[in-house]
Chains A and B, each alone.
Chain A
Amino acid sequence: EVQLVESGGGLVKPGGSLRLSCAASGFTFSSYNMNWVRQAPGQGLDWVSAIRGSGTSVYYADSLKGRFTISRDNAKNSVFLEINSLRVEDTAVYYCAREVPAAAQDGYYYFIDVWGEGTTVTVSS
């Protein structure tokens, strides 16, 4: 069974840092791109970052570049999200999500097929 389990969330003061982790199981982890998606209370889904299976390419939402760092350890089947200089507006549930490739007429496309249950980050003084 494919499973993603996030951890590392909690209550942090503004300006602090956190490192979120996502432990994957049930699939060949290194073969898949991984994403982080967040959802502020009462708000919609907000894509944060993605990393290719090899770890060689990373992507960030423009509004978040600079404070967020995504990384992975394929030997430990884990992906991480480090967040620095936390702001109140970073308060959200952070989801880890797997991205899978699918064949198309002109190549491949990718979509998120599995989500973790999320870890809650609260930034407050």
Chain B
Amino acid sequence: SSELTQDPAVSVALGQTVKITCQGDSLRSYYVSWYQQKPGQAPLLVIYGKTNRPSEIPDRFSGFSSGNTASLTITGAQAEDEADYYCNSRDSSGKRVFGGGTKLTVL
């Protein structure tokens, strides 16, 4: 299956650590990337190739992937991290797929 499953919503207290997960069979074979999207804005790449972070993304964002599960961790969440987060991968036929998205609330 090429589907990716994410929890619809997660919350975290300001300054605490939160993990957002993504599950799917395709993750066993293909790399995952993660995107942050704030209201009214285009998505922004935060993690690619499981663990790599673009230079402009703060180092409190990190990624991990093993088996059929990938995770995005924010260590010391800030108010500006409140957003929707999407995982993305592909399947063996070349089709790309996004997870359903996780709405992160910073309390």
Contacts and interface: CB of A to CB of B under 8 A. Distances in A.
A59 interface: yes
* Most chain B C-beta atoms within 10 Å of own C-beta, residue among A45, A46, A110, A115: A45
Contacts of A47: 88, 95-98
A89 interface: no
B96 to A, nearest CB: 4
A35 B96 contact: yes
Interface string A69-106: 00000000000000000000000000100000010100
Nearest to B41: A117
Given A46-B98, A47-B88, A114-B45, 5 more contacts: A35-B96, A60-B95, A62-B95, A110-B90, A117-B42
B64 interface: no
Contacts of A45: 35, 37, 43, 86, 88, 98, 101
B42 A118 contact: yes
Contacts of B44: 115
B86 A112 contact: no
B103 to A, nearest CB: 10
A91 B104 CA distance: 25
A109 to B, nearest CB: 4
Interface of A: 35, 37, 44-47, 50, 57, 59-62, 95, 102, 104, 109-118
A117 to B, nearest CB: 5
Nearest to A115: B42
A92 B72 CA distance: 27
A62 B94 CA distance: 12
B100 to A, nearest CB: 5
A111 B49 contact: yes
A111 B98 contact: no
B44 to A, nearest CB: 8
